[in-house]
């Protein structure tokens, strides 16, 4: 069975509008690299945007990838939210005939990752597993996740609406 690792973006934008890799994002890359060492993935997919035309989250994750280089490393540089990470990485996995994906994200982000990826990928024949990276529940992070939680249904509908244009099931 073809297996891939997907790392959705989870960084922050600095005061100048540039994307910065966070320590949490670097820990996600480390965990993804450890997984890739244990079991050869078909691909490792990095997903995330750039707010002002600089290097995207995905491009920066590729640049800082600490893992093996004998696997296909794929960037998806346009997703701005978790629902888009799901919708825009799905066609990349289908193109590569991936049937299982491990999603690597921060522990606070995990409920939303499960909601988006776990409810859609299986419809396209891709089984999901998850690896959560410990992160401290700062007040800012908790507030972000609480606010994002209220938007999940609407974001999922929008992402699902984009799939027929991008994916043939």
pLDDT in tens, 109-135: 999 999 999 999 999 999 999 999 988
Instruction: Provide the whole-model pTM.
Output: 0.91
Q: If you average pLDDT over residues 35-57, what whole number do you get? A: 92
Is the pLDDT at 163 greater than 60, yes or no? Answer: yes
Backbone angle region of 49, left / alpha / beta, with phi > 0 → left and psi within -120 to 50 → alpha: beta
Please give the backbone phi and psi of residue 132, each rounded to the nearest 5 degrees, phi first: -95, 135
Q: pLDDT tens-digit profile of 74-121?
A: 999 999 999 999 999 999 999 999 999 999 999 999 999 999 999 999
Beta strands across the sheet bearing 3-8: 72-76, 43-47, 3-8, 100-106, 127-133
Tell me the average pLDDT of the chain.
90
If one counts the domains in the chain, the total is 1
Q: Decide if 109 contacts 82 (C-beta within 8 A).
A: yes
CATH of the domain at 114: 3.40.50.620
What is the spatial distance between Cα 14 and Cα 49, in angstroms, rounded to a whole number? 14
Segments forming the whole domain that contains residue 47: 3-166
pLDDT for 38 equals 97
Q: Which residue, 32, 45, 28, is CA-closest to 108? A: 28
């Amino acid at each position: 069975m073809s297996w891939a690792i997907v790392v959705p973006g989870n960084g922050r934008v600095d005061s100048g509008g540039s994307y910065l890799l966070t320590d949490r994002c670097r820990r996600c890359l480390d965990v993804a690299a450890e997984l890739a060492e244990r079991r050869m993935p078909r691909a490792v997919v990095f997903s995330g945007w750039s707010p002002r035309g600089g290097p995207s989250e995905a491009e920066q994750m590729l640049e800082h990838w600490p893992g093996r280089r004998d696997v296909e490393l794929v960037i998806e540089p346009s997703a701005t939210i978790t629902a888009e990470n799901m919708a825009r990485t799905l066609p990349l996995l289908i193109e590569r005939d991936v049937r299982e994906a491990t999603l690597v994200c921060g522990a606070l982000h995990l409920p939303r990752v499960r909601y988006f990826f776990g409810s859609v990928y299986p419809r396209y024949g891709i089984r999901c597993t998850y690896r959560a990276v410990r992160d401290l529940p700062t007040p800012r992070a908790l507030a972000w996740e609480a606010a994002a939680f209220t938007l999940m249904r609407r974001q999922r509908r929008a992402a699902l609406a984009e799939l027929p244009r991008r994916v043939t099931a």
